[in-house]
Chain A
Amino acid sequence: MNLSKKQILIYSGIILILAILPFLLGFGRSTMTMINTVVIYSIAALGFNILLGYAGQISLGHAAFMGLGAYVSAYITNTLPDMGGLEYILGILLAGIVPLAIGLILGLIALRLEGHYLAIATLGFGVTIQQVFKEWTGFTNGFSGMNAKAINLFGISLRSRESFYIFSLVILVLLSIFSYNLIRSKIGRGLIAMRDSEHAAQAMGISLFKYKLIAFSLSAFYAGIAGGLYIHLIRFVEPNQWGVELSLNLLAMVVIGGLASILGSVLGAAFITVIPEILKEIPLIGEIRNFSMILTGVALILVIMFIPHGLSRITYKIKPLVKKTRRNKKLEDQEVV
């Protein structure tokens, strides 16, 4: 699981190229918004992958944590006086910590359930929290929605999509490194052991309850941070965004991108965000409402059938295929001779 020095160098190179690419190519504002959204969803998917991919637990209510993060950060940055930039850092941190705390409390109750029952319980949680967003107007401003300010860090304004991109990319990279470090040490091994054999994990001293709780609250933290960033990018939030559709999309991102893969989380987020935007441009298909939902469903089925390990490990699938066709071609050539 440990990356070699060469791999680390390659990844650093890719990240650097990704960071300067928008400045070189000069994308339009809407494209930049989309790229920013990919980064933000990558953060949420990264956390969700800890839960689903590494720990093997399901949740159908994680949109609620993301929404919670968004409202918390909006509320704090709107209420606190100008502190130069500290209020934004505080807002985004609390956007992660509040969902983490709620996730802990929910986990204490819900994680006694397993499989389908856990899925139903978290689904119920998601719906409940969304309802709270609608009704608790003092905090969320209800259906009218809530505005938020652009981040201003100690004089540096992140109002432009490009500067925001660098900021969110840095957070994504930091959180990816955190995940990667965690996965390759004791806690990561505990999570994976729990996923693959609960019996063995228990016999080896792993408290299932504790590790489920770790995975659940950590994924809530990631989702909250993503929500906190989202609100300062779009600068407007309303309750309908945080419904079941988003929860299912998070699930689809992780499955399509690749379970138990950090790279997969990013690829999945990109797939779910970018593909619908491209489809919109195509005549006829673009006019079908909710076509992206249909596509997500189809993509999920295809991935599960043909590349169960997701996009991140597609090369393992292609390499032998290429070799095979090459070999077959060689054989044909020989036969001809």
Chain B
Amino acid sequence: MNILTVKDLSISFGGLKAVDSLSFEVKQNSIYGLIGPNGAGKTTVFNCISRFYTPDEGEIIFRNDTKEHNLLEYKTYQVIEKGLVRTFQNVELVKTMTVLDNILIGLHSKTKGNIFTEGLRLPGVKKEEERVKDKVMKIIEFLGLTGLENHLAASQPYGIQKLIELGRTLVSEPKLIILDEPAAGMNHSETEELAKLIKRIRDELNITILLVEHDMSLVMEVCEKICVINFGKKIAEGSPLEIQENIEVQKAYLGGEEA
């Protein structure tokens, strides 16, 4: 079953066609990679799916269990409620908050309470805070960040900040996570750890993963299916092995001779 279907997606900025009738499908419980040279339009595709951009044409269908959602009908902040959540290429954390509070933000749409109950601290609020904090502590444990929960997010090293951001997406119990260059800025051993973590997220938490990545070793190791785009168009799709042997892909990355 496909959890995400992108059909004929197109968007242009001024005269530049950033994404040109792109179609691909992501199977449930798979790890799907979207790769391409710099400026190929990968992040633009992500921004369309997470509704930061509205595409000019095309459809984005997200299937959560039995319900189908046409994501274009929703606003940016409504996407997470449907079970789809993203990370950012440059870590976007709330720098003045603790690790715990940062991850709590991931539960925003699942936390009950309004301005009166919270301002007056009615009895239910304390219970609700405890409930959501328990959930966050479980995620902190899953990510191996135990002990850091009361530290400031900004004072953590880059690799940890990326994990915090990942934790913030996990806590919302999504069906699909889209990761925008999760390995950017990480060293080799950190990338290896990340590959293991991504697999654990899929296997232990049953979350489908769609990722954009530059680090080929990571992509080849974790992805089951890869889509290669260049100048906004799909040029190849297949298993890591097929992609490695594809001549079009080699041309796109290394610059081949025009036939």
> Taking beta carbons and an 8 Å cutoff, which residues of A are in contact with B?
1, 178-179, 181-182, 185-190, 192-193, 196-197, 199-208, 214, 218, 260
- Contact status A187-B118, CB under 8 Å: yes
Nearest A residue (CB) for B80: A205
Question: How many angstroms between the C-alpha atoms of A202 and B81 in the bound complex?
Answer: 12
In the complex, which residues of chain A have a beta carbon less than 8 angstroms from the beta carbon of B78?
A: 205
In the complex, which residues of chain A have a beta carbon less than 8 angstroms from the beta carbon of B121?
A: 181, 185
Given contacts A187-B118, A199-B92, contact A207 B113 (CB under 8 A): no
In the complex, which residues of chain A have a beta carbon less than 8 angstroms from the beta carbon of B108?
A: 186, 189-190, 193, 204-206
Mask, B92-136, CB within 8 Å of A = 1, is 111111000100111011010111001111000100010000000
- Contact status B94-A196, CB under 8 Å: yes
Question: How many angstroms between the C-alpha atoms of A84 and B105 in the bound complex?
Answer: 47
- Contact status A181-B120, CB under 8 Å: yes
Decide yes or no whether B168 CB sits under 8 A from chain A. yes
In the complex, which residues of chain B have a beta carbon less than 8 angstroms from the beta carbon of A193?
A: 94, 97, 105, 108
**Quick one: which of B85, B86, B94, B111 contacts A192, CB cutoff 8 A?**
B94
B118 nearest CB across to chain A (Å): 4
Known: A190-B105, A196-B96. 7 other contacts (CB 8 A): A187-B118, A189-B94, A203-B76, A204-B105, A204-B106, A205-B79, A205-B109
- Contact status B119-A200, CB under 8 Å: no
Of the listed residues A204, A206, A208, the one surrounded by the most CB atoms of chain B closer than 10 A to its CB is: A204
**Quick one: which of B88, B113, B120 contacts A199, CB cutoff 8 A?**
B88
> Taking beta carbons and an 8 Å cutoff, which residues of B are in contact with A?
50, 52, 75-81, 85-86, 88, 92-97, 101, 104-106, 108-109, 111, 113-115, 118-121, 125, 129, 168, 172
Question: How many angstroms between the C-alpha atoms of A15 and B76 in the bound complex?
Answer: 44
Question: How many angstroms between the C-alpha atoms of A99 and B97 in the bound complex?
Answer: 31
- Contact status B115-A214, CB under 8 Å: yes
In the complex, which residues of chain A have a beta carbon less than 8 angstroms from the beta carbon of B101?
A: 1, 189
Given contacts A181-B119, A200-B88, A204-B168, contact A189 B77 (CB under 8 A): no
Question: How many angstroms between the C-alpha atoms of A204 and B105 in the bound complex?
Answer: 7
Question: How many angstroms between the C-alpha atoms of A134 and B109 in the bound complex?
Answer: 45
Question: How many angstroms between the C-alpha atoms of A286 and B75 in the bound complex?
Answer: 57
A213 nearest CB across to chain B (Å): 11
- Contact status A185-B129, CB under 8 Å: yes
Given contacts A196-B95, A204-B106, A204-B108, contact A186 B113 (CB under 8 A): yes
- Contact status A182-B94, CB under 8 Å: no
- Contact status A182-B119, CB under 8 Å: yes
In the complex, which residues of chain B have a beta carbon less than 8 angstroms from the beta carbon of A189?
A: 94, 97, 101, 104-105, 108
In the complex, which residues of chain B have a beta carbon less than 8 angstroms from the beta carbon of A182?
A: 115, 118-119
In the complex, which residues of chain B have a beta carbon less than 8 angstroms from the beta carbon of A186?
A: 108, 111, 113, 118
